[in-house]
Amino acid sequence: MALDAFQKRRERQTLLLLLPALIPLVILTIYPALYAIYLSMTNEALTGLAAAKPRFVGAANYFRLFSDGRFWNALFVTFVFVVGSAIIGQFVLGFISAVALRRKVIGSPIFGAAILLPNAAPEVVAGFMWISMLAGGDHATLSKIMMALGLPWTDWLQTFPLFMVVMVNTWRGIGTAMILLTAGLSAVPSEVYEAARMDGANPRQIFTRITLPLMAPTIFLYMLISTVSTISVFGLVYALTRGGPGNKTEVISVYIYNQSFTAFQIGYGAAGAVVALLVSLTLGIAYVRSLKVEV
């Protein structure tokens, strides 16, 4: 009986301790998400009759969404963007940087700082900066380099738009990947490496049989964070291309923005946002469950 009372008091205390975190979570995350689900079942708009008198339309927005080729294109572009920039680009280069920085070589602090620098630039500023590098014409940085080499200039954002967007996002995210993976590398006990070396393991074996397995929880935690955060990247892509040319770089976040705030269809845009939320949630749960990572 006394134990029950003690447990109940502990539960109340725990709840009280969680409240400062729970209240903003409910107000700023859960309520807006539920409201977005409600909006997605209306024809709410920013202008026109639907702005004054929105109607409940049930699942009509979802039927429309799934029959919209542009939505499927946005999902495909998002897939390429996430795999290309977060999973391949940022991870591989971030991991190489983390490993390189562990070695005490001359200039490694400068190298580390240089990799972290892109994080200091706000998304939109970074986007405009890259436009000045990649745009066509005589004045863009890359065009000048090409012309100095006797080659014709190219408008890289028009010719290879998705590749360029992937590259810029990779550039911007290497620093974060490097920090997380450096923390993971530091957590691997040095005794394990020493034991492996004494047993005659070569560097490749050490990497594949010690470093990678022991880093797995960190790597997959990074994958979870970077996948979900890359799905929601908006400012960088919008500043660079606004989703164009055509819809070639229209990732899901830009698609949602375009439907909600360019075509002014808030309800329809909300349906896209709900689907994006479900995709992110599914991926997150899949990561956590399949790899039994403690988050």
Partner 1 sequence: MNRFVAGGLAAIAMSLLAGTAHAQTLRIALHGQAGIDAFTPTAQRIEETLGVDVEIVEYPAPDKDYMTKLLTELAAGNGPDLFSIPSAAEVADMVAAGYLAPVGAELAAWEPYKDFVDVARDLAVSPDGETYVMPYILGIQQIYFRRDLLEKAGISTEQPKSWADLLARAKEIKEKTGAYGLLFPAGTSWGGGAFDEGFSHLLIGSSAPQIVTEDGKFDLSSKGVLDVFQFYKDLIDADLMPVDPLLGPEPWVIPKYEMFPSGELAATTCGSWCYIFDWGRESRNPIPNVTEVVGTWADPGQESGEFVLANLGAPWAVNAKSANLELAKKALLETGSIENQIETATRIGNIPSSNAVQSDPRFQALTELVPIQAAANNGTYLKQATGMSVVSEGVARATEALLRKETDAAGAQQILIDHVRQTLGDEALK
Name the residues that contact partner 1, by CB under 8 A: 43, 45-49, 51-52, 64, 157-158, 241-242, 244-246, 258, 261-265, 268
Nearer to partner 1, 39 or 223 (CB): 39
How many residues are listed for the chain in this entry? 295
C-alpha distances (whole Å) from 77 to each of 108, 183, 215 are: 36, 31, 30
Q: Which is nearer to partner 1, 51 or 281 (CB)?
A: 51
Nearest to 264 by CA among 50, 70, 33: 50
> Least separation, in Å, of the C-beta of 242 and partner 1?
4
Residue 277 has φ and ψ, to the nearest 5°, of -65, -45
From CA 188, how far away is CA 200, in angstroms rounded?
Answer: 19
User: What minimum distance in Å lies between the beta carbon of 103 and partner 1?
Assistant: 43
How far out from the chain centre does Cα 198 lie? 41
Virtual torsion, Cα 84, 161, 275, 33, nearest 10 deg: 90
Q: State in angstroms the smallest separation of the CB of 133 from partner 1.
A: 16
Cβ 263 to partner 1 shortest distance, Å: 5
* Minimum CB distance to partner 1 smaller for 1 or for 52: 52
Minimum distance of partner 1 from residue 250's CB (angstroms)? 10
Q: Which residue has the tokens 């892509």?
A: 237
Q: Which is nearer to partner 1, 101 or 239 (CB)?
A: 239
The residue (of 68 and 193) whose beta carbon lies closer to partner 1 is 68
What is the spatial distance between Cα 160 and Cα 181, in angstroms, rounded to a whole number? 30
